[in-house]
Amino acid sequence: MVATDERDTGRGCNQIENLLRHGNTRWNSNFDSLCSMIDMYSSVITVLENIVNDGASNSIRGEASDALIAVKSFDFIFILYLMHKIMGITNLLCRALQKKYLDILSTMDYVSTPKTLLCTLIEEGFDLLLSHVKEVCVKYDIEILHMEASYKSGIGRSYQQNDSTTVEHHY
């Protein structure tokens, strides 16, 4: 963006968008970190690609290459957007529960809406989420898994095992 003059350069510039660290004490900081990752995903890819190509050492280039492979996977995108959806629903509840004074009746009201939205997500939201994940994968040239294919985890399961679990069912 700097190269195309979409961003200013100089002292104090470009400080607005940073990948946020997750916090151990506030649930909403984790949600903010997910939002930041989604907003800056293309920049993360670019930085990792630059480190792979120009890293100072083989170990740094190797770690960046491994991270790039992980970040450009269907699994990563699916989990990123699933967690964004779940934490987006629960974020308001988390903020409300951090208030200094809270009574049990208002707390019950705060819980009912996210509960309903989470139930709706479970019952009706998979196809919409999957559609959005596929759009992101197409945009960033990430291989989209065939949902009808048999799922084989390779962890603790025999590849010879006849299993009717599909990739879609796994997700």
Instruction: Give yes or no for a contact between 74 and 101, defined as CB atoms under 8 angstroms apart.
Output: no
* Distance between start and end Cα atoms, the chain: 35
The pLDDT of residue 143 is 96
**What does the pLDDT read at residue 103?**
78
For residue range 60-108, what is the model confidence (pLDDT) as tens digits?
Answer: 999 999 999 999 999 999 999 999 999 998 887 887 787 777 777 877 8
> How far is Cα of residue 123 from the mean position of the Cα atoms in its chain?
21
Residues 6+ apart with CB under 8 A from 4: none
pLDDT digits (tens, 9 = 90+) for 24-51: 556 667 888 899 999 999 999 999 999 9
pLDDT of residue 92: 78
Q: What was the pLDDT predicted at 96?
A: 78
Name the token pair of 106.
Answer: 């208002």
* Amino acid (1-letter code) at residue 85: K
51 sits in the region (left: phi over 0; alpha: psi -120 to 50; else beta) called alpha
**Cα 136 from Cα 141, distance rounded (Å):** 8
Question: When comparing pLDDT for 26 and 168, which is higher?
Answer: 168
